[in-house]
A and B are shown apart, each in its own frame.
Chain A
């Protein structure tokens, strides 16, 4: 039983770490801020979900695991808002992005 829990939890943790590594690489290697938002949002949602699931499987169902689930839930609510706000900031302050007319019209409707 211990062994099964260990192996499943290890798989989830390793996948979570892989997602975090790719998110960090993406933030460092992409060349525009709007692309970097995509890479960062990946780690925000998928990475923390898999790390927490791995820990949940090892720990079992306790109050602490409930708290961890609340953290993931909060992240799923907050991270898209962060990405949206950062995208609006980039759209507002970057002249290169504002050159694109199709983005601009929609932006003025939304803001």
Chain B
């Protein structure tokens, strides 16, 4: 019995430590200069929460918490992938607008038909694929 009590104390200590680490990771997610930093920090918070729920399931002797854990892992993975795709699309849209404006400044008449630079064409096609919802190689 003595070892069980001791082990529960160890689990409690681990959970408190993980909570502190989560707080430290939140600092990075607030400070992070780029959007990728924030997503990385959020992903790591998700991982530590899953470890915490595993510890809690053993501490409380409630096995159903592990199901929560599994669902949490799937939702966390999905959110990271979707957020990364969304921000890539937003960035491409911004780039396309910028190049279009530059082309209009240069030659207002010809800009509506086509833009000469190879890079512009590429971002345009990528944007079109993104807008149509294609799941091809482009995005």
Partner-B contacts on A (CB < 8 A)? 2-3, 5-6, 9-10, 13, 16-17, 20-21, 23-24, 27-28, 33, 36-37, 40, 43-44, 47-48, 51-52, 55, 58-59, 62-64, 67-68, 70-71, 74-75, 78-79, 81-82, 85-86, 88-90, 92-94, 111
> For B70, what are the chain A residues with a Cβ–Cβ distance below 8 Å?
67, 70-71, 74
Q: A17-B14, A24-B25 are in contact. Are A86 and B51 (CB under 8 A)?
A: no
B81 with A85: CB separation less than 8 A: yes
Taking a contact as CB atoms closer than 8 A, the residue among A2, A27, A67 that contacts B41 in the complex is: A27
Taking a contact as CB atoms closer than 8 A, the residue among B4, B32, B81, B137 that contacts A111 in the complex is: B137
**Is B109 an interface position by the 8 A CB rule?**
no
> For B27, what are the chain A residues with a Cβ–Cβ distance below 8 Å?
28
- Complex Cα–Cα for A55 and B80 (A): 27
> For A2, what are the chain B residues with a Cβ–Cβ distance below 8 Å?
3-4
Of all chain B residues, the one with the shortest Cβ separation from A44 is B47
A33 with B77: CB separation less than 8 A: no
- Minimal beta-carbon separation of A104 from chain B (angstroms): 11
> For A37, what are the chain B residues with a Cβ–Cβ distance below 8 Å?
36, 40
- Complex Cα–Cα for A79 and B85 (A): 16
- Minimal beta-carbon separation of B58 from chain A (angstroms): 5
Interface residues of B in 98-139 (CB under 8 A from A): 137-139
A-B contact pairs, 23 of them (CB 8 A): A2-B3, A6-B6, A6-B7, A20-B18, A23-B44, A24-B24, A28-B27, A33-B34, A40-B41, A43-B48, A52-B51, A59-B58, A64-B66, A67-B66, A67-B69, A71-B69, A78-B74, A86-B40, A88-B84, A89-B35, A92-B88, A93-B88, A94-B34
